[in-house]
Structure 1
C-alpha cells in the first residue's frame, strides 16, 4: 500500500501536467471529432478541384435501391471547420446525403496566400465540388460566413439550389450593431487573437449556450487559432470587404429558411428581418437564448426545424 500511494500520486501529477499542454488538448479535440464522425456514420474524403484539394466529411443516404436521395451541404463559418456541424448532422434523417467541407483557408483543406477567399469564389468551389461528385442539385446551408457563401451559391447557381438555409449569416448590414460589430466599427477586431486570454474572450462571444469543453482542450484549440492568425486576417479581408448582399437578396429565388439566435453577439439579429423581407420565398425562425451558432448550441432543435422546413417546402 505504501508503494501504491506514491505511484498513484505520480500518475495523477503526470496526468495533470499533460492537461496543461496545449498540444495535448488539441490532440484530444481532434481525436474526439474523429471518433464522433465515425460514430455518426461519416467518412473523410478529399476531392481535387482546380486549385486545391477540398477535405470533407460525407455520409451516404440510406434509401431504397433506385431512389435518389437529397443532398445537404453544410458550410461552416469564419475560422471554424467541418467538425462544428457533426452533432447537428447526427440528428438529420438518414435519408439525406450529407457533405460537410472544410472551406478553403480552413481546417484540413488549408490555406494558400494566392487563393481568393471572397464569398463568390468559395461558392464557385462548392459548385465545383458538386460537379466533381456528379450532384445536380443540393440543399445548401451555412452559418455566419458560411451562410453568406450559401446565399451567393443560390445567386450564382439557382438551378442547382434546391433550398437555402442560413443560420446567423454574414453579408447584410444590420440596423443595430452587435457587440462584435461595434468593435469592428471602432477599429478593433476580436478575431485578431495573439494569446489564449484573447481566445477565451472571443470564444465566449460566439455562443450563449456553449457545449461543455474542458479548459485544456480550449487552450489547444486556441494555440491552433493563434498559429493561423495571419491566414485568418487575409481571409477576413477578402470576405468582409466584398460581395455585400444588401441589394441582392431579392434575386434569391430558392426556398429559404433563416435561423437566428436572438443572443448572437457576433452578428446582430436585427439583420434577420432584412433577410426575410429581401427573399420572397423565405421563412424566419428566431431562437431565444441562443447565440451565434444554433447548430452547435442546440443541434437537435435546429436539425428538427430544418427538416420541418424542408418537408413543407420541397
Structure 2
C-alpha cells in the first residue's frame, strides 16, 4: 500500500512539473510592460494613418570619447531594441551615440488594431524620429527583418545614411518568387495565437543557432513569449500577423543594385532562416535560407559592399558570439 501511495505521489509530482515550469515564465503586457530594458525608454509621439502612435526608443550617449557619429539599430521581427543590449554597450564605449527604437507594431511601441504596415512606412516613421532628435545623418544597422527595413531606409533616404550595415538580414531572397505559397493574414493570426515559449525556442534553435542552445538565449525568448502569455495576446498576435504579411510581400532584394551607400554585410553562415518555408513544398523549402550563398549574391549586387562571413555562426551573431561580431563590426565602421 505504501508503494502504491508513493507511486501516486510521484506521478502527481510529475504532473506538477509543466505547471511549475510555466509559472517560471514571465508574463508581460502588450507593450512589454514589466520587461527591463538595458537603458531608459523614451517615447516619440506622432500621428500616422489617422491615429496617434508612440514609438519607444533608447537614446544612449557615448560612454567614451565621442566620435561625432550616430548609429541607429533596427531590430528583427522576433527581436526588440533590447536585444541589441551588448551592441549598444560596445558602440557607446567606442564613442558612438546609439538610437535603438522599437518599431510600430513591436515590443514596447504602439500596436494598432488597423495599420497599413510597409517597410516604407516604418522607414518614414524612423526618419521622423531622427528628425525630432536633430539627427541629419547616421550609420544604420539592421538585423534580420531590420535588415529589410534598413535597406528600405537607405533606398528611400540615402542622404541620411552614412553607412548601411546588414546583419543576417532576411529578404536576401524573394520567397514568393521561389515558390513559397502565400498565407492569408487570418491564417497567420491563428498561427500566432498558438505561440509560446517552447515554440519560439524550438524555432530559434532550429533556424538561428544550428541546433544548439545556450541558457542566456532564454532571456530573449522570454521577452517575446511573455507578451503572448499576457492579457494583450490577441493584439500582439494580430500585429505579428500583419508584419509577417509585410515581410513576405515586400522584398527589397530586387533593388539592391540601386543602393547608393557603402554597405557592410555581416553574415553568419549557419543561418537557415526562411519565412514561410514551413508551408512550402519540400523541394522548395530545402533550397531556402542558404546564407553563405545569399550573402555572396547580395554583396555582388550592391555597388559598394563589403562581405564579412562568420562561417560557424547563425542568425544572430551579435548574440551568439558578441566578441567576434563586435570586433568585425567596429573594424567595418572604422573604414568609413
TM-score, normalised on structure 2? 0.74
Deviations 1:132-184 (A, max 9, x none): 10000010011111000001111101111000000111223269x9xxx99x5
Q: Which runs of 5+ in 1 are unaligned?
A: 1-15
**Distance in structure 1 (CA, Å) of the matches to 2:255 and 2:213:** 33
- 3-state DSSP class of the match of 2:294? helix
Cα distance change on mapping 1:292 and 1:215 into 2, 3 Å: closer
Asked whether the 8 Å contact 1:69–1:96 carries over to 2, the reply is yes
Residue 309 of structure 2 corresponds to 286
Residue 244 of structure 2 corresponds to 236
Cα distance change on mapping 1:88 and 1:152 into 2, 3 Å: same
**Distance in structure 2 (CA, Å) of the matches to 1:223 and 1:141:** 26
| C-alpha deviation, 1:229, in angstroms | 2.2
- 3-state DSSP class of the match of 2:57? strand
| C-alpha deviation, 1:275, in angstroms | 1.3
**Distance in structure 2 (CA, Å) of the matches to 1:147 and 1:289:** 20
- How many residues align? The count is 283
Residue 81 of structure 2 corresponds to 82
Residue 215 of structure 2 corresponds to 212
**Distance in structure 1 (CA, Å) of the matches to 2:299 and 2:330:** 19
| C-alpha deviation, 1:199, in angstroms | 2.8
| C-alpha deviation, 1:210, in angstroms | 4.6
- Give 1:248's match in structure 2, choosing from 242, 247, 255: 255
Asked whether the 8 Å contact 2:79–2:224 carries over to 1, the reply is no
Deviations 1:233-275 (A, max 9, x none): 1111123212x22321111111111111111121420321221
- 3-state DSSP class of the match of 2:43? strand
User: 1:1-314 to 2 correspondence within 5 Å?
Assistant: 20-22=21-23, 24-26=25-27, 33-34=36-37, 37=38, 42-51=39-48, 52-62=53-63, 69-92=68-91, 93-173=93-173, 192=192, 194-196=194-196, 197-208=198-209, 210-213=213-216, 218=221, 221-225=224-228, 227=233, 228-242=236-250, 244-267=251-274, 268=289, 269=291, 270-312=293-335, 314=336
After superposition, the CA RMSD in angstroms is 3.2
| C-alpha deviation, 1:22, in angstroms | 4.6
**Distance in structure 2 (CA, Å) of the matches to 1:232 and 1:103:** 12
TM-score, normalised on structure 1? 0.78
Asked whether the 8 Å contact 2:25–2:222 carries over to 1, the reply is no
Deviations 1:70-110 (A, max 9, x none): 11011111132111111122222341000111111101103
Cα distance change on mapping 1:259 and 1:22 into 2, 3 Å: farther
